[in-house]
Amino acid sequence: MKKIKIAVLISGRGSNLGAIIEASKDTSFPAEIALVISNKKDAGGLILAQENQIPTVFIDHKLFDNRAQFDQELTKVISDSGCELVCLAGFMRILSADFIRNWNNKIINIHPSLLPSFKGGNAVEDALNYGVKISGCTVHYVIEEVDSGEIIDQIAVEILENDTKESLAARILEKEHILYPRALKKVCEKIQTKIS
Ligand code: GRF
């Protein structure tokens, strides 16, 4: 089966990118990272990608007049690389409606809570403050409404009595590294079935 070319979009350390890189070293893994894009020049994930001979592009959102123009550049770069799927992995920009429509059902994201609970940028802290006993992580399709697309896969994480935001985030992150490759495999196998 032909591997599905993916673009991974990051803004920071890129530990989820690292998990996808490791998974894709298995020859039977259905995805191949063709490109890593960051909107931050100093994103740790860029170095990780380069160490693994994966092409990287830095696109500085500050150089664009508005979100639509930045997103058009993103679309151009992703299309030129031949990627069929966009994986958001700690990408800290909201994508425009046009971008999401353009890549309809071809963008996935990882979020550190059991969606639909605790959407938004403070998911770990919000879960802790609410007092839920179980949180976790979710990989989902991206639609216009933030953190709301169809759920692909999830892993639950128990919240412990003495958890802090940091300790809980660290345990959730460990599960993210299992979840993202697993969900990606599922999505890519679905795409492969459609095109075969
Ligand atoms: C993760 O917690 C992920 O759930 C969230 O952003 C963080 C990215 O971490 N969307 P990393 O850059 O993959 O290490």
Q: What are phi and psi of 20, to 5 degrees?
A: -70, -40
Range 43-71 average pLDDT: 96
Domain residue limits, the chain: 4-110+139-151+176-195
Range 93-120 average pLDDT: 96
Cα separation, 142 vs 151, in Å, equals 9
| Protein residues whose CB sits closer than 6 Å to any atom of ligand 1 | 10, 12-16, 89-90, 110-112, 173, 176
The minimum-distance atom of ligand 1 relative to the CA of 89 is 13
Q: What is the pLDDT of residue 121?
A: 95
Q: What is the pLDDT of residue 181?
A: 98
Q: What is the pLDDT of residue 54?
A: 98
Range 43-49 average pLDDT: 98
The per-residue pLDDT for range 131-140, each reduced to its tens digit, is: 999 999 999 9
The per-residue pLDDT for range 138-173, each reduced to its tens digit, is: 999 999 999 999 999 999 999 999 999 999 999 999
177 is catalytic: no
The minimum-distance atom of ligand 1 relative to the CA of 12 is 12
Cα separation, 56 vs 54, in Å, equals 6
Q: CA–CA distance from 189 to each of 4, 150, 185 (Å)?
A: 9, 17, 6
pTM of the model: 0.97
Q: What are phi and psi of 192, to 5 degrees?
A: -60, -40
pLDDT of residue 195 exceeding 90: no
Q: Which H, E and C letters describe 103-158, residue by residue?
A: CCCCEEEEECCCCCCCCCCCHHHHHHHHCCCEEEEEEEECCCCCCCCCEEEEEEEE
Q: Provide the CATH topology of domain 4-110+139-151+176-195.
A: Rossmann fold (3.40.50)
Which residue's C-alpha comes closest to atom 5 of ligand 1?
Answer: 90
pLDDT of residue 179 exceeding 80: yes
Q: CA–CA distance from 162 to each of 61, 131, 168 (Å)?
A: 39, 12, 10
The per-residue pLDDT for range 7-33, each reduced to its tens digit, is: 999 999 999 999 999 999 999 999 999
pLDDT of residue 129 exceeding 80: yes
Q: 195 alpha carbon to ligand 1 midpoint, in Å?
A: 31
Cα separation, 35 vs 56, in Å, equals 6
Q: Where does residue 24 rank: exposed (0-12), middle (13-18), buried (19+ CB within 10 A)?
A: buried
